[in-house]
Amino acid sequence: MRKNSIKNTRINGEVQRELSNIIHNEIKDPRIHPMTSVVTVEVAPDLKTCKAYISVLGDEKAQQDTIAGLKSAEGYIRRELAHTVNLRNTPEIRFILDQSIEYGVRMSRLIDEVNAGLEDGGDEDEENLSEQ
């Protein structure tokens, strides 16, 4: 995998900030959940494409509706991005649902369940040893 240059990293951060601002303040689509955040942005080195990873706090339907709303507003978002970010080419934006936060919460829950099971199981083992 190619390492990002300083310029590309700076562009990623600027596009991420502006996308977040556009989504929260300028889009009025009711399908877009209010708890939507732009997790990360990857702009291609040639500035032609951009992958925007979106996290939505809500159920599966809210997530799918939000992605559908963002995809339908893609042209408007790209035009607004062109006005605010000074780039040679305004990248074509692809919105991707980022479920890493949910995955992390689920893994933490599983670890907590295993730890709780070990604590309960540990007490039973001590009781069995004391009976013998």
Output the domain CATH number for residue 83: 3.30.300.20
Q: Are residues 42 and 75 in the same domain?
A: yes
Q: HSE-up of 49 (CA within 13 Å, CB side)?
A: 4
How many structural domains does the chain have?
2
Has residue 121 been placed in a domain? yes
Could you tell me the residue range of the domain that residue 131 belongs to? 100-132
User: In terms of C-beta distances under 8 Å and separation of at least 24 residues, what long-range contacts does 31-35 make, across chains too?
Assistant: 31/65, 31/66, 31/68, 31/69, 32/65, 32/66, 32/69, 32/70, 32/73, 33/57, 33/58, 33/62, 33/63, 33/65, 33/66
Whether the predicted pLDDT of 128 surpasses 80: no
Mean pLDDT of the chain: 87
- Spatial neighbors of 41 by CB under 8 A, at least 6 apart, are 12, 13, 15, 16, 19, 50, 51, 52, 53
Judgement on whether residues 89 and 128 belong to the same structural domain of the protein: no
Same domain, 82 and 108: no
Same domain, 91 and 121: no
Is the same domain home to 43 and 67? yes
> What percent of the chain stands above pLDDT 90?
60
Q: Which amino acid type is present at position 37?
A: S
Closest by CA position to 96, among listed 63, 54, 37, 40 = 54
More confident of the two residues 3 and 84: 84
The pLDDT assigned to 40 comes to: 94
Kindly state whether residues 18 and 65 are assigned to the same domain: yes
Confidence grade of residue 129 (pLDDT, cut at 50, 70, 90): very low
Contacts with 130 (C-beta within 8 Å, 6 or more apart), sequence order: none
Q: Which tokens belong to 25?
A: 């303040």
On whether residue 55 sits in a domain, the answer given is yes
Would you say residue 95 has pLDDT above 50?
Answer: yes
- Whether residue 124 is predicted with pLDDT greater than 90 in this model: the reply is no
Q: Are residues 18 and 49 in the same domain?
A: yes
